[in-house]
Amino acid sequence: MFYMLFGAHVSTSGGIENAPENAHEIGAAVFQFFDRSPRGGKPTYTDKSVAEFKANMAKYKIQECYIHTPYYINLASAENRIRFGSIGVIREELESASRLGAKYVMTHLGSAKDFTDKEALALVVDGINKILDGYNGATELLIENSAGAGQIIGDTFEEIGFILKKIKSKSAGVCLDTCHAFASGYDFRTKKALDETLKQFDKHIGLDKLKLFHLNDSKTELGSHRDRHADIGFGFLKEQAFAAIAGNPALKNINAVLETPEEELNYEKTINFLKNLL
């Protein structure tokens, strides 16, 4: 029987092999992490670190893990250094994730500020096709929806659906961030609102493409287009939104991670709250 598993973004301080233990300590069944600095650089771990990482995944009974790409990704940049660098980094992340046994790599797409929306979307599609060309790894690439501030690409289901339909490879899906979606005008606060949001997602993208949740409350109101995460229950979404998500039968096999800034929350307490919603 499938049911939603909960976790959080965890630290790899001291080495990636420490991440599974860090997840275990907060009661997480799954976790997300950066395998390199989110602001630049390359992964620095060794074959020994990879072996220890996998051993600790088993030791602490962690079900799945996911890698988040660095913050600077922009597949629609007018600067070739940034655009082609982003393509290279995402491909590297997929190869690294396959090596580590991570299930997904999720990424933001970038900004359309240098081009028209149509031109920017074409560059994103071209970039993802280049990333996935010849890729044979087990890790799947996920597009994370955005809040839509500053011409950021991927804030609407229509836009994400358009991109996915143009990708030649089928090895791509969606990570749905509740804060970003709420900021983009998609509501989750009641069962009725959630059902309508899922209906729109299915219409434009397809529910079969929804692979993972980022469960974040929002410090700003519906449709604000501002990316401001809040701890669950301390934003405009409130606890009932997450109860609706956790209790929806169509979502029972889609796992979820928390991403709220660590200084503002107790991950273990929030994960226990979510588990009690099932």
Return the active site residues.
39, 68, 71, 108, 144, 177, 180, 214, 227, 229, 259
CA distance 145 to 276: 27
**Is 206 in a helix, a strand, or coil?**
coil
What kind and span of H or E run contains 126? helix 117-132
The angle subtended at Cα 126 by Cα 125 and Cα 127, nearest 5°, is 90
Which candidate, 93, 101, 15, 99, places its Cα nearest to that of 58?
A: 101
For residues 16 and 33, the answer to whether their CB atoms sit within 8 Å is yes
CA distance 122 to 109: 12
Retrieve residue 247's tokens: 């209790």
